[in-house]
Amino acid sequence: MDLVSLKGTLESDATLKDFRITGPEAVEDPSRLDGAPFLAFLAWVAMRKATGTARVESAAGGGTLLGFSQGGLLTCEDDGRPFNDEVLAWLVEQRVVEGPRLEAIRAASAGTPILQALFAHKACTPQDLVEAIKSSKERLLGRFLQRGRWAFEWQDKAAVKRTDPVVVDLAAFIVSTMRLMTRSSYASDMDPLLKDMLGRYPNSTGALAPAQAEVIFSDKERMVLEQAADGTVTLKDGIAMSLLSHTQTDRLILIAAFLGFIEFRTLGLPKGGIETLEKELKSNYERLKGEDHFQRLGVHWTTHPKHYADAYRKMAERWGPGSRVRQHSAATNELAIAVMDLMDEAFAVVQDPEARARYRLQRFGKETIIFGTDFLYKQAHLAVFREEWDVAQEIIESAIDIRPKGEYTALRNSIINHAVRRD
């Protein structure tokens, strides 16, 4: 969604409440940023890989201008205070350069940018300067993560003048911030935030680049994310099987969900994902086209007719409208419709006695039908011998349905009469 501008307020609580609106939610509906925590705003910028500027102002007055490029922070400067002053303050605080020497270099280098002068006088290394600039930008951002309320205005695609070579990776910054905010939390604190996701299936979104993943997460965390987000088990089951503790896994999932590294589906996937499922469905469809009407419904051609409706109902639940398999993708929906068409065709034939008889004769031939019914007749006698009366009656009725014959009917009547005597 392209935005010319966006205005509102940002309200940070400095607690786990600041995770209440995730980056994906803000991307889907930017109006949710009005009243959202500052952390959600940063996640929105990071996920969109946005370029633009944001002005953030406190109720007491004074503001900060933030400049972003491709989802990274380029500039961060308070009204009336040059950003270089923040960098110099950090260098002095960290004792990289002593205050008196700083002033001496400043006096001796009039007209030369002070950071350049510090390097020229060997007061600090390039690495020192990069760390000072990065830490200063992160420190300025950190103020808006404290409890408070600020007005903000976003200008999308606004030009941002680059003043130094240091870009703050917002994803890494957010992860680091969330780790700090949850360092004393337990699973019981974070479980409520995951409550709505526990019965859903986490899936990787591909938003986390491999190089970025190596910086943000440990090897074990990446392994857990891969296992949890393969789409085959619910988040609840994934947490139970995790290589990390419950608390560590909660923290990891919160971070991944907050930045859109994973998404949640209502349906599980087979191993291999959607593409594997589509291939399996296509193969299944091709196989079903070659099967007889009874096989398609999952029954044998000698099965008693009373089972046909239930077999069709099960197939309709699996392939028909509202079935889970139709909801995975457009391709799985089309394949499921095609399979259900085969089921409808099969049931239309087998449920009608006359059509069923004609189809059996055409499909299997007279000799197979005679052999099959004689075999059923023998099986019915065996069931009678075992005193399995209900089984015997069903078997012989199946034979009569296929090939009505006097001796079959006589056996059926004998079984029924025995049942009456028993009652």
Q: What is the pLDDT of residues 5-55, one digit of tens each?
A: 899 999 999 999 999 999 999 999 999 999 999 999 999 999 999 999 999
Q: What pLDDT shows up at residue 137?
A: 96
Spatial separation of the C-alpha atoms in residues 251 and 234, rounded to whole Å: 17
Distance of alpha carbon 14 from alpha carbon 73, whole angstroms? 21
* pLDDT at 1 (0 to 100): 44
CA 124, CA 130: separation in Å to the nearest integer?
10
Q: Which two tokens stand for residue 14?
A: 């400095």
- Closest by Cα among 176, 185, 256 to 221: 256
Q: Is the pLDDT of residue 108 over 90?
A: no
Q: Region 111-118: what's the mean pLDDT?
A: 88
CA distance 327 to 266: 9
Q: Are 256 and 238 in contact (CB under 8 A)?
A: no
Structure confidence at residue 156 (pLDDT): 93
> Exposed (0-12), middle (13-18) or buried (19+): which is 60, by Cβ within 10 Å?
exposed
How do residues 268-294 score in pLDDT, each as one tens digit?
A: 777 777 788 888 899 999 999 999 999
**pLDDT in the model for residue 419:** 67
CATH for 274-364, options being 2.40.30.10, 3.30.450.20, 3.50.50.60, 1.10.287.110: 1.10.287.110
Tens digits of residue pLDDT in 310-337: 999 999 999 999 888 888 889 999 999 9
CA distances from 232 to 193, 227, 274 (A): 22, 9, 11
pLDDT at 302: 95
Kindly report which listed range (9-13, 133-137, 204-208) carries the lowest average pLDDT score: 204-208
Q: Where in the chain is the domain with CATH 1.10.287.110?
A: 274-364
Phi (first) and psi of residue 271, to 5 degrees: -60, 130
pLDDT at position 421, please?
A: 66
Which pLDDT belongs to residue 3?
60
Q: What is the chain's length?
A: 423
> Which long-range CB contacts under 8 A does 19-27 form with residues at least 24 apart?
19/178, 19/193, 19/254, 19/258, 20/193, 22/257, 22/258, 22/259, 22/260, 23/47, 23/258, 23/259, 23/260, 24/257, 24/260, 24/263, 27/1, 27/260
Task: Report which residue type is found at 122.
Answer: K
Lowest-pLDDT range, 205-209, 220-224, 298-302, 305-309?
Answer: 205-209
CB 250 within 8 A of CB 183: no
The pLDDT, as a whole number, for residue 326 is 87
Q: Quickly state the pLDDT bin for 339 (edges 50, 70, 90).
A: very high
| pLDDT per residue as tens digits for the range 218-236 | 999 999 998 888 888 899 9
Model confidence at 211, pLDDT cuts 50, 70, 90, reads confident
Banded model confidence at residue 423, pLDDT cuts 50, 70, 90 = low
